[in-house]
Structure 1
Amino acid sequence: MTESDAYPPIEAYALVGNLETCALVAPDGSVDWFPFPHLESPSILAAVLDAERGGRFRIAPSDSFETDRRYVDDTNVLETTFRTDDGAVTMTDFLPPAGRTGHPKKVLYRKLACSDGPVDLAVDLEPRFDYGRAETSIESTERGVLAEGDEERTLLESPTDLEIGDGRVTGELSLQDGDEEWFMLRCTGAEDADTDPEAALEETLAFWTDWAHSCDDGDCAFEGAWHDPVVRSELVLKLLTHAESGAIAAAPTTSLPEDIGGVRNWDYRFNWLRDAGFTVQALMNLGTADEANHYFDWFMDLCQADDPEAIQPLYSLHGESDLEERELEHFEGYRNSRPVRIGNGAAEQRQHDTYGELLLAVDEMHRHGRELDADEWERIRDIVDYVREIWDEPDAGIWEVRGGDEHFVYSKVMCWVALDRGIALATDGGYDAPLEEWRESRERIKADVLENGYDEDVGAFVQSYGSDALDATGLLLPIVGFLPFDDDRVQGTIDATEATLVEDEVFVQRYDGDDGLPGDEGAFVLCSCWLVDALALSGRVDEAQSRFETVLEYLNPLGLVAEEIDPETGAHLGNFPQAFSHIGIVNSAIYLGYVRGNETPGPAPMGIRLGDPVGLPSDSP
């Protein structure tokens, strides 16, 4: 078996989940990634990180086959249809969403329905608890085959006899036209639970159908060629939202490489506070106010629990701060991309942009009618006061570089944003604040950035003071209101970004400077969306739409996208699917729809009301 055979392309995977954890399903019917009981928990199945030692659960035809896959309408229920020379079988994969049905959430259901037969299928379960580190015992029981590790266990309930050998569970079955059978992988806590699989499927479909965005009530903010990708992005974001805490994971995976065979492999199964502002905007405009409020309450609780200095860039989905970064040395990594990491050392970094993002989110929620109580405002005021103290210090920046702290321009701008939104909140809400001091600091930051962050020779805002490297975050300066879109320095930054960071007219690199790590990386989907936004709000609407539709062509056939795209091959790179990539898609659709006259729920998006866009059609809302 070749390396490419052992590891499907990243973009080949599908995602299912239960609002607490997720599983990646390969086109050949193999579940290759399944942490349990939560996304940030150790894995039961991790063949995506080590084809030999990671573990998998595969059901597929014994003979050669072709595969078609789809999600059932606007749901997170996956259908994989296998077609052989003799027939066809459709496998339906899902987990019931936590607390949303009367069925156990800790069961991975796999339904097989034969529409043309006969089809012979092979079953192969290789449980590897605790990232393959735990001793595993496997034995037959009255209910099926039970596998146990140190802390977790699984029970595979099967319609066919199963055999145990060499740490694997195998079986065979043959289906005729019209046959239907169920496999259930019952995880810790659900081994003996009563289940009605057909009812579980029906209720899971009903939940997702009722929850997903619908245009039944008239005009849609996402009307256009991008409507379906936006709905799929919404469904991905919901899958990455933890039902209990409301936190949203950056991705459901760890260590899928940004550089195949390289070291740029990170654990993204956590929530980055810096994602807050644009996440809230996306959620509110999608009409998912409950999720936006739940997420808002979660990060406000974190801010109230910690002094501003102690606020971390990222936390676990349960608010835990200890995210010690470790390496799984026994795993070879996806296509030999090592090290495989769990935890993330960026939690210990100083990232000053985080404070601006938090204030963006608070301001966004406030504009949608969310009032702040006295305790919440006290915490926000403390954050703004803290930003006044530290804005002129270096930090690790939004990209979490590991080559040392710098005076990053975007970090300074987001400190300005923290002051600016704090002033707006205090003024609009009548909250007590030292407004004169805040305004003075806001002006000092802006003057400093204009003097040191803009390079006359480059004709653009640069990545850090004293550098001539460009950074895609420069595209956000007008969107967050730092300067208007028609400012020559803003337009120069857009032009310089296009000339330096853009490949094949659509793919945008994060930056062109050194980040202290070896190897290359792909183009960031999120940054490509930022360019779309900047162009659309600069009046270059047709160009923005053309670029956006090209970006959407690189989504996988199921509408999912990773963190990055390889501009040369179109292959997906990095963790998959990536929340921020899908947030970028939603927000770009908001901006494009808005400048073309579509109505959006609630107040205008931040790039409209703050950045003084140009060239809007006369009938824009």
Structure 2
Amino acid sequence: MRDGGYTPIEAYGVVGNLETAALVAPDGSVDWFPFPHVESPSIFGAVLDAERGGRFRVGPADSGTGTLGYLDGTNVLQTRFETGGGALTVTDFMPPADLVDHPKKVLYRRLDCEEGAVDVELAFDPAFDYARTETTLEATDTGLRAAGREERTTLEAEFDLDIDRDAGRATGATTLEAGRTEWVLLRCTGAEDAATDPAAALSDTVDYWRDWSHDCPTDEHCVFGGPWHDHVVRSGLVLKLLTHAESGAIAAAPTTSLPEDVGGVRNWDYRYNWLRDAGFTVQALSNLGHVGAAAAYVSWFLDLCGATEPATIQPLYGLHGETALDERELDHLSGYRGSRPVRVGNGAADQRQLDIYGELLLAVDELHTHDRSLSADEWTVVRDIVDYVTEVWQEPDAGIWEVRDGPKQFVYSKVLCWVALDRGLALASDHGYDAPVDAWRETRNEIRESVLQKGYDDELGAFVQTYGDGTTLDATGLLLPVVGFLPFDDERVQGTIDAVETRLREDEVLVRRYDGSDGLPGEEGAFVLCACWLIDALALSGRVETAHDRLETLVEYVNPLGLLAEEIDPDDGTYLGNYPQAFSHIGLVNSALYVGAAQGGELPGPPPMGIRLGDPIGMDDY
């Protein structure tokens, strides 16, 4: 399974506690585990350097890989191994931070011998602080204690351990016979001496996840009650797993520097919250029945925005609202399969991305359809943002794709500025909020005329990526009708869909982001989210059968665990980019919603974007 010491991205399972997460390989090795938070330095990081990154394996001594699966409706991972002498199941989980009866800073690993006898081995090789800190080990009565500069762990295991203090690692072995269960606990800083009841922790963790996931509608007439129900439920569980229990912020992914181009430089840290995800995230969560989670998310970013001026709102934040996300390169790590540099932090936090304001308004407006109104202070934040958009919409920016070759006049950024004004006007009109509606309406019309004149290319018959560029096509053009800028039957919309089909679609369903330069060397895979956008546009354009077939094809790319990375290599179907990726799962949920609705399924809640907004709001002079 491992290629040069590296496990394929799509082969990993993930567990977590709503503060951090761990990647578990099919051989029973924890290859990625940042602590105490998902954006913290790693304790185990073999996924980024197979030699020095550190790992923690438990599994049979004579079996290379097992079969991974989640307990139904949970984020509790099980790996089943078949050996020459018997069968072993390893169950991995962390109690969610909401479960106050159990210490949340513990990684539990339960070993169950189900038949025969299995020789089990343990390899414990922590590498604190991205392998930048020397590890010290000392034996304890129940196992061993490992420490770096700031963090420490205590390993509890009834194994005969051989501790190599010079190397900072330990190995151990035991034999389990049929019917025997052993627990291996990794206690992290803050939980070294906490009382634990492993069996109760597992039971309560299973109940927690099943209570949460069962909110997803299952009625056969509901759009989510059909053939994609299990994929939708798993996607909801992924989004919850990536949600920070304290703030409600959602990480784009729990990993950093998993490459978009193996061996290349397109390696980024995604362990932060991007405001651009807001509208579609709120839509997905709300329609899955998790309106409370969506509301917490909206409240979190409105608080962030209210603490600063609109001009200084960042495209992304740490999960506690941190603003200093300085991008750094870890030169001592070789990178996943030689993909360097390994980066931590993300320089996009310092970019100007004008689309974020429209995406924030999409989220606020979406939540309003679920009867969540704004407080006076929250409306002040929203009004200030819309006012600011009237001042800056004509300026260039880095765009949704965060290009690093200079600011440009991105069409999608202009459209999302239009969205900010459009939704601001709708909110003010529908709910009686105070606003300079005449000025907003005038600017909204100016933006629309600008986009139609400069963002559409008559010869191409499609909307392009930037003003003045009639050659570069961008998948964001598929979103213009979804956000209500133009109706789906507009010939310019249909022309854009056809152009994406012709120039950006790689196979039956996979879609590239764009076909122009972005200032970086190398190639990238097809973006799962863009495939979802094309499915949405087809479904809401009346091409329902095609959209249905495309969604059926897309779910074939979902791995057996129900997880998706950011990108897929169209040549061989392997995963690329950080994993699991929130935006990919958001796209899958929303595509199931749109296709199901287009086929006549019943919506689980108020109609979402694209259905409710098939025609633009308030466009009297459309």
Structure 1 residue 82: deviation in Å? Answer: 0.7
Question: What residue number does 1:546 align with?
Answer: 549
Identity %: 68
Q: Per the alignment, do residues 404 and 378 of structure 1 end up closer, same or farther by CA in structure 2, a change over 3 Å counting?
A: same
Question: What residue number does 1:93 align with?
Answer: 92
Question: What residue number does 1:278 align with?
Answer: 280
Deviations 1:85-141 (CA, angstroms, capped at 9, x unpaired): 111000000000102251111110000000112110110010111101112111012
Question: What residue number does 1:458 align with?
Answer: 460
- Correspondence list, 1:173-188, <5 A: 173-188=174-189
Contact 1:482 1:611 in 2 (8 A): no
**Structure 1 position 160 matched with structure 2 position 159:** yes
- The secondary structure found in structure 1 opposite 2:613 is helix
- Which one-letter code corresponds to 1:414 in the other structure? L
Contact 2:26 2:65 in 1 (8 A): no
- The secondary structure found in structure 2 opposite 1:502 is coil
Question: What residue number does 2:592 align with?
Answer: 589
Residue segments in structure 2 that go unaligned for 5+ positions in a row: 617-622
Distance 1:379 1:64 in 2: 57
Question: What residue number does 2:59 align with?
Answer: 60
Structure 1 residue 64: deviation in Å? Answer: 3.1
Question: What residue number does 2:510 align with?
Answer: 507
- Correspondence list, 1:21-60, <5 A: 21-60=20-59
**Structure 1 position 525 matched with structure 2 position 522:** no
Contact 1:66 1:84 in 2 (8 A): no
Question: What residue number does 2:619 align with?
Answer: none
Structure 1 residue 217: deviation in Å? Answer: 6.7
Deviations 1:188-233 (CA, angstroms, capped at 9, x unpaired): 0111111111111011011111110344677533122111100000
Contact 1:157 1:183 in 2 (8 A): yes
Question: What residue number does 1:127 align with?
Answer: 126
Structure 1 residue 237: deviation in Å? Answer: 0.3
RMSD, aligned α-carbons: 1.2
Contact 2:242 2:251 in 1 (8 A): yes
Deviations 1:37-92 (CA, angstroms, capped at 9, x unpaired): 10001110000000111100001211135522210111000110111111100000
- The secondary structure found in structure 2 opposite 1:237 is helix
- The secondary structure found in structure 2 opposite 1:417 is helix
Contact 1:3 1:335 in 2 (8 A): no
Distance 2:45 2:7 in 1: 13
Structure 1 residue 378: deviation in Å? Answer: 1.0
Contact 1:555 1:561 in 2 (8 A): yes
- The secondary structure found in structure 2 opposite 1:291 is helix
Question: What residue number does 1:348 align with?
Answer: 350
Distance 1:239 1:528 in 2: 23
Deviations 1:346-368 (CA, angstroms, capped at 9, x unpaired): 00000000000000001111121
Distance 1:485 1:64 in 2: 54
- Correspondence list, 1:122-271, <5 A: 122-165=121-164, 166-213=167-214, 214-215=216-217, 219-271=221-273
- Which one-letter code corresponds to 1:38 in the other structure? H
Structure 1 residue 370: deviation in Å? Answer: 1.2
Structure 1 residue 432: deviation in Å? Answer: 0.7
Deviations 1:407-466 (CA, angstroms, capped at 9, x unpaired): 000000000000000000100110111111100000000000000000001110000011
Question: What residue number does 1:565 align with?
Answer: 568
- The secondary structure found in structure 1 opposite 2:562 is coil
Residue segments in structure 1 that go unaligned for 5+ positions in a row: 614-621
- The secondary structure found in structure 2 opposite 1:117 is strand
Contact 1:13 1:24 in 2 (8 A): yes
Which piece of structure 1 moves more, 105-114 or 369-378? 369-378
Distance 1:43 1:66 in 2: 24
Distance 1:147 1:65 in 2: 27
Contact 2:334 2:342 in 1 (8 A): yes
Structure 1 residue 601: deviation in Å? Answer: 3.0
**Structure 1 position 397 matched with structure 2 position 399:** yes
- The secondary structure found in structure 2 opposite 1:376 is helix
- The secondary structure found in structure 1 opposite 2:66 is strand
**Structure 1 position 331 matched with structure 2 position 333:** yes
Question: What residue number does 1:439 align with?
Answer: 441
- The secondary structure found in structure 2 opposite 1:606 is coil
- Which one-letter code corresponds to 1:210 in the other structure? D
Which residue among 366, 369, 373 is the counterpart of 2:368?
366
- Which one-letter code corresponds to 1:106 in the other structure? K
Structure 1 residue 314: deviation in Å? Answer: 0.2
Contact 2:136 2:148 in 1 (8 A): yes
Contact 2:217 2:289 in 1 (8 A): no
Question: What residue number does 2:82 align with?
Answer: 83
Which residue among 443, 460, 479 is the counterpart of 1:476?
479
Contact 2:22 2:30 in 1 (8 A): yes
- Which one-letter code corresponds to 1:249 in the other structure? A
Question: What residue number does 1:104 align with?
Answer: 103
Contact 1:353 1:411 in 2 (8 A): yes
Distance 1:65 1:327 in 2: 33
- Which one-letter code corresponds to 1:512 in the other structure? D
Distance 2:292 2:84 in 1: 48
Question: What residue number does 2:491 align with?
Answer: 488
- Correspondence list, 1:421-440, <5 A: 421-440=423-442
- The secondary structure found in structure 2 opposite 1:185 is strand
Contact 2:291 2:370 in 1 (8 A): no
Structure 1 residue 602: deviation in Å? Answer: 2.8
Distance 1:73 1:401 in 2: 40
Contact 1:65 1:84 in 2 (8 A): no
Distance 1:387 1:91 in 2: 53
Question: What residue number does 1:618 align with?
Answer: none
- Which one-letter code corresponds to 1:139 in the other structure? E
Structure 1 residue 167: deviation in Å? Answer: 1.2
Aligned residues: 612
Deviations 1:326-364 (CA, angstroms, capped at 9, x unpaired): 000000000000000000000000000000000000111
- Which one-letter code corresponds to 1:54 in the other structure? G
Superposition TM-score, scaled by structure 1 size: 0.97
Distance 2:346 2:44 in 1: 21
Distance 1:389 1:170 in 2: 62
Contact 2:2 2:8 in 1 (8 A): no
Distance 1:527 1:341 in 2: 25
Q: Per the alignment, do residues 42 and 270 of structure 1 end up closer, same or farther by CA in structure 2, a change over 3 Å counting?
A: same
Q: Per the alignment, do residues 272 and 112 of structure 1 end up closer, same or farther by CA in structure 2, a change over 3 Å counting?
A: same
Contact 1:11 1:572 in 2 (8 A): yes
Structure 1 residue 143: deviation in Å? Answer: 3.3
Contact 2:217 2:288 in 1 (8 A): no
- The secondary structure found in structure 2 opposite 1:280 is helix
Which residue among 377, 389, 413 is the counterpart of 1:375?
377
Distance 2:219 2:6 in 1: 44
Deviations 1:145-186 (CA, angstroms, capped at 9, x unpaired): 000111100000001221211211110011111111000000
- The secondary structure found in structure 2 opposite 1:163 is strand
Question: What residue number does 1:616 align with?
Answer: none
Distance 1:226 1:216 in 2: 11
- Which one-letter code corresponds to 1:463 in the other structure? Q
- The secondary structure found in structure 2 opposite 1:422 is helix
Deviations 1:223-253 (CA, angstroms, capped at 9, x unpaired): 2211110000000000000000000000000
Contact 1:101 1:203 in 2 (8 A): no
Question: What residue number does 2:322 align with?
Answer: 320
Deviations 1:530-562 (CA, angstroms, capped at 9, x unpaired): 000000000000100100111110111100010
Distance 1:537 1:175 in 2: 56
Contact 2:481 2:493 in 1 (8 A): yes
Superposition TM-score, scaled by structure 2 size: 0.97
Which piece of structure 1 moves more, 203-212 or 134-143? 134-143
